[in-house]
Structure 1
Amino acid sequence: MNENEKHEQSAVSVIGLGQLGTRLAQAFLGAGHATTVWNRTAAKADALAAQGAVPAAGLAAAVAASPLVVVCLPDYAAVEGLLGPVADRLRGRTLVNLTSGTPQDAVRVAGWAAEHGVGYLDGAAMSGTRLVGRPEALFVFSGSEGAFAAHREELASLGNSVYLGGDPALAPVYDTALFGLVWGALAGFYHSVALVGTAGVDPTVFTAVAREHMSFVTSLMTEHARQIEDGGFPDDDGTVEVHRAAMDHLVHTSGSRGIGTDVPDLFKTLLERASADGHGTSGVASVVATIAKGERNV
């Protein structure tokens, strides 16, 4: 394969130039990939054109320009409505869908792609827009293994691109699971900042200490994942009852200092449910069994 053929093979078309779509196109350009862009509002392509992108005259032209077509739109309905009329142009190409949606959405669109001879990858940008194009930006993909292998280099231009498996539903499952993880951590962080603030501690001063503590927290995640996989919950990191008692202290201290107790109340309720389920003397990781039941006390 000569240099021109390699250049054509690594060409990318980006459809949808919102905040994320624009950053995707910039990352591909920065990595040296010929990048065609299209947006329903054509003016959104102007700034990218100044950076070396090629604005397509229309959607069909954008799809035809590259073997890899990356779409980033508000929802899956928009993806289906937009790409339906150009399905024949997509045949034989790879479609990477970085639109947020549900696992059911991903399976449906993957089925549509298969019917039209289109390689399909569902994906999610897990690090927002600010880090796109940097190694620490996490992107997850699922769907056609062959499509991922064929375009691994282009997708690596976006950051740390991780292939999860052949089930297209995996990317949105990870997307929502990791979003929940982030919000669980941030909710705890926001509550902590409010609490130490009652003692006059500056948020940045507290955060310097909290960051050092997070290495311990991530080590707990690794160890507790092993326990969950094995189905055994030793009490090395405290039992459910020990953590419930400690959470009582957090709730009381927060309330006595005049801040909201929404966050620790949630954790306290979860620990109380786990204890009621018979896990009181088990290691704290056994809380996962209560969550997995999908039941709530009324």
Structure 2
Amino acid sequence: MTDEPSVTIIGLGSMGQALANACLAAGHRTTVWNRTPAKADALVARGATRAATVSDALWASDLVILCVLDYDAVDELLAPNADMLKGRVLVNLTNGRPEQARRTGAWVTAQGAEYLDGGIMAIPSMIGKPEGFILYSGSSAAFDRCRAALEVLAVPTFVGEDAGLAALNDLALLSGMYGIFAGARHATALIGPERAAEFTTSLLIPWLQAMANVLAPSSAEREAGDIPSEESPLDMQATALANIVQGSRSEGVGIDLLTHLLTPMRDIIAAGEGDALSDLVGLIEKEIRS
């Protein structure tokens, strides 16, 4: 698998296409399958082999990478072809939940195959480039054996034998990302469309980068009691959050953009430092639900 790598890619959406192109660029013998055969045309022109059926695709390679819409699609593709899995390594890069990954991993293992679940921390244009990485969990033996083949896709990061850990870390990282996106969207809404581009480039991105650099050490040190509360006192945060809410209202910024403030608001209230925020939290939640 490492001397003359061969790999099958099942699922040729934008991410599957990127994965297959990375394999071809690395010189891997690449077999592809997609429900809509025409999606493989450009890959076949580059040297990929088009499989006529899922069974043929599984048969073609010892390393099979699955990248489809959801776990219903995974089940639909694999269940009728269970007898083709024995002796293979199945790498499932379909986004899902930890319990889905564990269930699928147990089923695949019962068919005599090795299973790796994966979380792709990249967009398609980052595949094959050093800035992207993919989380893997499941069989450590399979990961070690296939690592050279997986490295052509993105930096491989193994997070544990529990097949659900890649999905768990994936969802946690995406949660952080979407929180940033929500905050950034709210920030640019406050600034207004005319100034949003300059504001984002010159102020917002540098500010977020600076905060990201101190996030991990500050939280760890604060838990250990190494950072004095005066550095970022809760009453100051409570005032700032309240001002964001009230200032947004006065600027006509939609209430739906305030959802990312609920967690820090609740944390401050729970600490007994922001009682004045209680009504604001209730108001935001009520309007979001309506």
TM-score interval for Structure 1 and Structure 2 normalised by the shorter chain: 0.7 to 0.9
Could you tell me which amino acid in structure 2 is paired with residue 33 of structure 1? H
Could you tell me which amino acid in structure 1 is paired with residue 146 of structure 2? H
Tell me the SS of whatever aligns to 1:223. helix
CA apart distance, 1:95: 0.2
List per-residue Cα deviations over 1:52-104 (Å, max 9, x = no partner). 11112322221121110001122212212211232222211100001111111
CA apart distance, 1:209: 2.1
Given that residues 185 and 257 in structure 2 are in contact (C-alpha distance below 8 angstroms), is that contact kept between their aligned partners in structure 1? no
1:59 is aligned to 2:59: no
CA distance in 1, matches of 2:235, 2:73: 49
Corresponding residue to 2:67 among 62, 72, 79: 72
- Aligned match of 2:93: 98
After TM superposition, the score normalised by the length of structure 1 is 0.84
1:274 is aligned to 2:271: no
**Unpaired runs of at least 5, structure 2:** 275-290
CA distance in 1, matches of 2:264, 2:77: 47
CA distance in 1, matches of 2:72, 2:199: 46
- Against the structure 1 CA distance between its residues 141 and 228, is the aligned structure 2 distance closer, same or farther, given a 3 Å change threshold? farther
CA apart distance, 1:265: 6.1
List per-residue Cα deviations over 1:204-242 (Å, max 9, x = no partner). 343232222223211222214424764877425412221
State the number of aligned residues: 274
- Aligned match of 1:208: 202
- Against the structure 1 CA distance between its residues 77 and 151, is the aligned structure 2 distance closer, same or farther, given a 3 Å change threshold? same
- Aligned match of 1:159: 154
Tell me the SS of whatever aligns to 1:191. helix
Name whichever of 254-263 and 52-61 sits farther off: 254-263
Corresponding residue to 1:260 among 254, 263, 273: 254
Given that residues 90 and 118 in structure 1 are in contact (C-alpha distance below 8 angstroms), is that contact kept between their aligned partners in structure 2? yes
1:247 is aligned to 2:241: yes
Given that residues 239 and 280 in structure 1 are in contact (C-alpha distance below 8 angstroms), is that contact kept between their aligned partners in structure 2? no
Could you tell me which amino acid in structure 2 is paired with residue 28 of structure 1? C
CA apart distance, 1:132: 1.4
CA apart distance, 1:253: 2.2
1:11 is aligned to 2:10: no
CA distance in 2, matches of 1:58, 1:158: 24
- Aligned match of 1:287: none
Please tell me the root mean square deviation across aligned C-alpha atoms, in Å: 2.3
After TM superposition, the score normalised by the length of structure 2 is 0.86
Given that residues 122 and 143 in structure 1 are in contact (C-alpha distance below 8 angstroms), is that contact kept between their aligned partners in structure 2? yes
- Against the structure 1 CA distance between its residues 168 and 182, is the aligned structure 2 distance closer, same or farther, given a 3 Å change threshold? same
CA distance in 2, matches of 1:86, 1:255: 56
1:29 is aligned to 2:34: no
Corresponding residue to 1:137 among 128, 132, 139: 132
Identity %: 37
CA distance in 2, matches of 1:227, 1:144: 35
1:150 is aligned to 2:145: yes
